[in-house]
Structures are given as C-alpha cells and as structure tokens.
Amino acid sequence: MVSNLAEQKLYAGQKTEKLRLLQVTDRREGGYLVWECRCDCGNVVYVSSKKLRRRTVTNCGCMPSPGKHNQNLTGKKVGLLTVEYLTDQRDREGKKLWHLTCACGGEAFMNTADVNRSKKAHCGCQTTHNRVDLRGVRKGQLTVQYHTDKRTKQGSVIWLCTCECGNEVEVSESALVHGNRVSCGCKKEEAQKMIVHRKHCINGTCIERLGQKPARKDNKSGVCGVCEKPNRKYEAVIGLKGRTYHLGTYSTIEEATQARLHAVEEMHMPIIRSYLEEKEKTQDQMKNEGI
C-alpha cells in the first residue's frame, strides 16, 4: 500500500467508489491535475487528482456523504444519556440540538459536536452534591424534610425545609451544604427590625447619619458632601429626609466646604439639638421616677 499520496498512480479506467476515471484534462486545480470522471449514475464530473487520491470526492454528489453536521446519532449512548431525536431547537451558535433521555428519566439537549465529545454524561442527576442525603439535617433555623423533583439551572436538587417560625421553604442543596440559607427569611426580617430599633429617627431622619461624617474613599475632595467636578470645580450637597439638596458649585474647595458646613448648621443641627434635648428630658424623668 502506497502511503505517499504523490506516489499513488491514477490511470484511466480506475474506479474510486462510484467514480470511474475517464481521462486526464489540461485543467489544474490548486496545482493538481483534473480528471474527467463518470459516476455510476451517469453524470460526468471533473475532480482533481488530490481529491481522488484522498477519496474526499467519491461520487458526483448524488449520494452526499454523512458529514459531521449530517450525522444520524439516534440511539447513541453517552454515559447515562441516550440520543432520541434531532429537534428544531438551536443553541447560541445556531447549531441544532439533539434530545437525549437520561436513565433517571430526565432529559438533556446537546448539539452534534457535544454528543460526539461526550460533553455530558447525565442530565445533572449524578453530580456530587446531588448524592448527599440531607433528610433531617438542621441548618440554622431550617430542618430539611425531603427532596423535590425540582432542580436549579445548575442541576442542584431542591429540598423542602421547615423553619422554626413554622413556614415551609424550598432551598437548593447547594445553598444548604454551603450554609447560604439558614432561615425562611424571618431571620433577615428580625435583623432589619433590630437595626431600626438601634437607630434613632426623628421625622424620618436618622440621627446617626447627620452631622459631619467622614468622606467616602472614592471622594477625591476628602470632605463629606463636597465632590470635585470634571471641570475642576467643587459641588456641595447635603441630604435630609431621603432627599439630596444641591448647595451650588464653587471654584475652590474651601468655598464648597464652607457652604456645606453652613447647610449642616441650618438643616442638621436643629434636629440633633432637638434629639439631645428630648433625650436629656427623658433621662431626667427616669431619674426622678427612680428608674
């Protein structure tokens, strides 16, 4: 058997699959001689000697060979998956998807290349975290009851859990294993209520957020409520009761800082003084009552 394609001799009358070589022509294709060939169906085609030697063309086109995009994969097994049929669905690259069924009863979709590469061996039922039995396990305020038939997009099993407050909640196995969920949500609500109680609010304004605060790390001016503009000017702002008030734009940081301090004295300090006075009265009343 000749291994070098250049040494493989072609001659008139030679048969290559469905093509019979008739005669060599004066034409060339990519530097290779072109042969006149007759197909078994009767058609005459012209094929280069390179394609004839490599058998990339074996007929006139009456019987297209099953290329990688025309493979019939029906019945092929990939791990626990079995290819059922080619769907009309397409992936992001526009490739058609095959429908596969899993031994567990689930389903999966893959294109031809992924099936041949065995990209998936199951529908997601055999991942490591899905083999953990969490029944009866306690995670924070949650007690795991049983797994459902539902799964997350990543294939994690969803478990039904009961919370100490009496609510039922569905939580993914991944969240339970890694401790990302420890309640039905009631714990978060309680924490938020505690935060509110720890803060002191007057007319919708939090006392702890008033006055001169440290500037944010991303504030180039270094002064709270004063920011440097792209035109190298400085804007002063102040917040109160959920609203932001613009105090003006100034040429120097000193002017903007003074405007901010003046606004703090006029808008924030009266509320702070009122709170401190009320707090002092309450403390004096408690002392008088012996509390």
* Beta strands at 205-206 and 226-228: parallel, antiparallel or unpaired: unpaired
Q: What is the pLDDT of residue 14?
A: 92
Do residue 140 and residue 181 come from a single domain?
A: yes
Looking from the CA of 158 toward its CB, the CA atoms found within 13 Å total 11
Do residue 143 and residue 172 come from a single domain?
A: yes
Q: What is the pLDDT of residue 1?
A: 36
Residues of the chain with pLDDT > 90: what percent?
A: 20
Do residue 252 and residue 284 come from a single domain?
A: yes
- C-alpha span between 108 and 101 (Å, rounded): 6
The domain total for the chain is 4
* Beta strands at 44-48 and 205-206: parallel, antiparallel or unpaired: unpaired
Rounded average pLDDT over 12-24 = 91
Q: What is the pLDDT of residue 128?
A: 47
Do residue 264 and residue 231 come from a single domain?
A: yes
Do residue 157 and residue 218 come from a single domain?
A: no
Rounded average pLDDT over 84-101 = 87
Sign of CA dihedral 140, 142, 145, 150: negative
Tell me if 65 is assigned to some domain.
Answer: no
Query: Of 65-69, 131-135, 162-166, 286-290, which gets the smallest average pLDDT?
Result: 65-69
147-150-156 Cα angle (round to 5): 80
Looking from the CA of 256 toward its CB, the CA atoms found within 13 Å total 23
Query: Of 35-39, 55-59, 67-71, 280-284, which gets the smallest average pLDDT?
Result: 67-71
Tell me if 196 is assigned to some domain.
Answer: no
Q: What is the pLDDT of residue 284?
A: 75
Range of the domain at 111: 77-116
Tell me if 266 is assigned to some domain.
Answer: yes
Tell me if 252 is assigned to some domain.
Answer: yes
Rounded average pLDDT over 213-232 = 76
Tell me if 122 is assigned to some domain.
Answer: no
Q: What is the pLDDT of residue 163?
A: 92
Tell me if 70 is assigned to some domain.
Answer: no
Do residue 20 and residue 45 come from a single domain?
A: yes
pTM of the model: 0.31
Q: What is the pLDDT of residue 142?
A: 92
Do residue 111 and residue 138 come from a single domain?
A: no
Contact 139, 178 (CB under 8 A): no
- C-alpha span between 158 and 152 (Å, rounded): 7
Residue 48 to residues 33, 37, 227, 248, Cα–Cα distance (Å) = 6, 10, 74, 81
Q: What is the pLDDT of residue 36?
A: 94
Of 13, 55, 17, the closest CA to residue 36 belongs to 13
Edge-to-edge strand ranges of the sheet holding 96-102: 77-78, 81-90, 96-102, 107-111
Do residue 82 and residue 33 come from a single domain?
A: no
pLDDT band at 64 (very low <50, low <70, confident <90, very high): low
pLDDT in tens, 170-204: 998 888 887 888 888 887 766 666 554 555 666 66
Do residue 241 and residue 218 come from a single domain?
A: yes
Instruction: From 162, 187, 212, give the residue that closes a domain.
Output: 187
Do residue 211 and residue 266 come from a single domain?
A: yes
pLDDT band at 132 (very low <50, low <70, confident <90, very high): low
- C-alpha span between 162 and 145 (Å, rounded): 7
The DSSP 8-state label assigned to residue 84 in this structure reads E
For residue 269, pLDDT over 90 is answered with no
Q: Please tell me which residue, 150 or 189, carries the higher pLDDT value.
A: 150
Tell me if 63 is assigned to some domain.
Answer: no
Tell me if 2 is assigned to some domain.
Answer: no
Distance of alpha carbon 201 from the chain centroid:
40
The pair of three-digit structure tokens given for residue 275, joined into one six-digit string: 């709170």
Contact 256, 234 (CB under 8 A): yes
